[in-house]
Amino acid sequence: MSKIHQAFENGKAFIAFITCGYPDLETTMACVREAQKSGADLIELGIPFSDPTAEGPVIQEASLRALQGGVTTDKIFDMVRDLRKDVTIPMVFMTYANVVYSYGAERFISACREIGIDGLILPDIPFEEKEEFLPFCRAHGVDLISMVAPTSRGRISMIAREAEGFLYLVSSLGVTGTRESITTDLSAIVQAVRETTDLPVAIGFGISRPDQAREMASLADGVIVGSAIVRLLAEYGKEAPAHVGAYVRSMKEAIR
């Protein structure tokens, strides 16, 4: 069993997404440590991929820059080993199927266990195709995190019934990125999940402001923020960690 459940044990969880290697791995490590110190309950580490189909322009650009800078999966594994010397909160990888396939699925997932990664999010893998990875995840104690979206409709209960770690609720149609408002009837989706499982639900996509985080946390067990954090990295570069820490603090305060 992974330790993802720990992220949700002390109230609403704040989950911070960071693209690995943007602008460099040293800055990534500093941001993760600042996020933990500032109250993040779980870190979602994005392994860059050339065609990140779920991502909007902010994270697409970060992924491209990281790849151009020479980031590799093995370098990211080494980075996590270093982080695990003092980062105690749960951490998960978010990446794409081809990254795992090309590395070798069992080799990749066993390495996740060895370095201290608790879960894996693969947004381009439909629920019906998760068996490609699920046996390896279960063998090595890495949660394969499922996603539901406004288009999931009648499949919500089916997905929730077999979910692990936490259920990732995509707030809006489209790709990641900040949004002025989130108009989806998320309460109905959360209710459908609650009728099936007591697994925590975290809402992501489009959340960037404290008021949005507060609203989403009133519906679910946690909120996920990525593009707003990666935008700070784009703006401040190597000086970003302090700004990321301050941002995480403000968002965590909003959902307490």
Angle at 19 between CA 117 and CA 43, to 5 degrees: 40
Distance, first Cα to last Cα, the chain: 27
Looking at residue 183, its pLDDT comes to 47
For the chain, the maximum distance between any two Cα atoms, rounded to a whole number of angstroms, is: 46
Q: Residue-wise pLDDT tens for the chain (256 aa)? A: 689 999 999 999 999 999 999 999 999 999 999 999 999 999 999 999 988 776 778 899 999 999 999 999 999 999 999 999 999 999 999 999 999 999 999 999 999 999 999 999 999 998 889 999 999 999 999 999 999 988 887 899 999 999 999 999 998 654 444 445 444 678 989 999 999 999 999 999 889 999 999 999 999 999 999 999 999 999 999 999 999 999 999 999 999 8
Give the predicted TM-score (pTM) of the model: 0.93
Q: Measured between alpha carbons, how far is 109 from 152 in angstroms, rounded to an integer? A: 27
Cβ–Cβ under 8 Å, residues 186 and 169:
yes
Looking at residue 181, its pLDDT comes to 46
**Nearest residue to 22 (alpha-carbon basis) of 13, 14, 12, 32:** 32
Beta-strand ranges (E) seen in 13-166 are: 13-19, 42-46, 91-94, 119-121, 143-144, 147-148
At a CB cut-off of 8 Å and minimum separation 6, what does 12 contact? 217, 221, 222, 223, 255, 256
Name all domains of the chain by residue range, CATH numbers in brackets. Answer: 13-255 (3.20.20.70)
